[in-house]
Structure 1
């Protein structure tokens, strides 16, 4: 089973203003790990989601797509805390910009005992990211859980989704993030993440620094409209974005890309420690291409709505 750990939330996505000046909002299920879990399941991977879900009406809204996609909610007991909310607008590049409301919410209703007890006996991949390193107390709990999974010899992947607007102490955050990165085998970041972490380094410098960490074998960097690139110690590849016929928005595109990369690695029997870093440039390009199609098909919708495996195959066979 693939296990994805991290937040679920409701995206309140801003639409066009009405003529009377009222800003219309649409409620969409979201959260980077939540999106990734659904995307993995739709691509045919057995997937569990490790996050408390609220007993409120937004929690009901979150559970429905998980169950429809076949994702297993690993924490069975619903939380009495409210669901986290994110208000989503667009920045100058047309990319999502977020404001979060997560004080005392369900996705933070965690303990070491609750999380460890919910883990399945067999884990083929443990995907982490999103909000895990942001708050010191939360990070300490999650780090213990990740270390426990790492001790099993499980492949660990991380997509940090750096959110400066959520982080009060950025230096403390980067130190906590470092602890997670030092356990990971696969790292996926956006160019915006890298700028937030250190604007003075080039993408190549960031990639080299990540690959120099104790366990990292693969680094993937998404570049917005410029596509994506991937690095191992010995190989590099690039792939363009896939543009759907009709564009909805880019919400969840990076999460879909992450799922596509993990699924492509698994299907090539490369999702194993040692095999990941041995991929050549041709294999890396094919993996990026698969992930780009998954992300592009997601962008045909408003809000995160990742494709099925059949939809991805239909594109790959005709392009």
Structure 2
């Protein structure tokens, strides 16, 4: 079975409604994506780090319970596991405060086996953090050279807006390595002061990679791809939104699930997908994203995952 390998951070998400904490769940953008894929029965592994504390121990147990290989997660005895506070507004959209000791960041791991057609997902600050950049870039380059499909979720938060200039070389390297780039209008507003998908694609993305997905909350998803292909996809109507915290992460999960389900290869990705192929994988992405918004969890529910796993087999 093709593997999905994620590289990113683990955090404990504490979710507030108003001023009251409502839930505390393991999180991290790539982590959330992988949990959903693990629940669907896919072959998933994670490269990350955590502290040797109760939070870190709980996160690793949670990963293993959800089918994620944690053998490449480094546990550092002198580090504290990071926290993320998510404050839901009246529309159940989130604003974030992050607590992490970035100067203590490090990454020490053995490369997992990567084969042709495997999928690597990466993104957020972890993918551009200068302290661990040599290790992250080294693995991404290794995965690319071994035939993996690289999926880059930009996920650039406003908390790092003052670091954009310093981080731009790393961002551009990621764009060049990626086969598919997804970001939100919020990400690109912080990074490039642009929110129009065409303008972002023309001026910032297309030189590096031709496959670009731009999401914008409940507004339609914008796709730009090879040979001038462009299409807009309406968001599935959802009257039961509890939280949008995991929406983007699970869009990624659904997209990757679609690549596996429809057997989309690295060769096809390189030469350019057909409209039908794009329709299929983005339909999966929208299904996953809609499901996760129905709860305070950061990942698709187990009933949904079971149904998706059956579709994969059939």
> What interval of TM-score do these two structures reach, taking the shorter chain for normalisation?
0.7 to 0.9
Counterpart of 2:46 in structure 1 is 49
Alpha-carbon deviation of 1:220? 1.3
**Does the alignment pair 1:160 with 2:154?**
yes
Which structure: greater strand fraction? 2
Within-5 A mapping of 1:14-163: 14-17=16-19, 23-24=20-21, 26-75=23-72, 77-80=74-77, 81-90=79-88, 94-104=92-102, 108-110=105-107, 114-115=108-109, 117-122=110-115, 124-163=118-157
Structure 1: state its 5+ residue gaps.
Answer: 18-22
For the 8 Å contact 1:218–1:277, the answer to whether it is kept is: no
How many Å separate the matches in 2 of 1:178 and 1:93?
A: 33
How many Å separate the matches in 1 of 2:152 and 2:111?
A: 20
Alpha-carbon deviation of 1:12? 1.5
For the 8 Å contact 2:151–2:178, the answer to whether it is kept is: yes
Counterpart of 2:197 in structure 1 is 203
Counterpart of 2:222 in structure 1 is 229
For the 8 Å contact 1:229–1:238, the answer to whether it is kept is: yes
Structure 2: state its 5+ residue gaps.
Answer: none
Aligned residues: 304
**Does the alignment pair 1:10 with 2:3?**
no
**Does the alignment pair 1:306 with 2:303?**
no
Alpha-carbon deviation of 1:87? 1.2
For the 8 Å contact 1:54–1:82, the answer to whether it is kept is: yes
TM-score by length of 2: 0.87
Alpha-carbon deviation of 1:263? 1.3
Distance 1:243 1:28, change over 3 A: farther
Alpha-carbon deviation of 1:177? 0.9
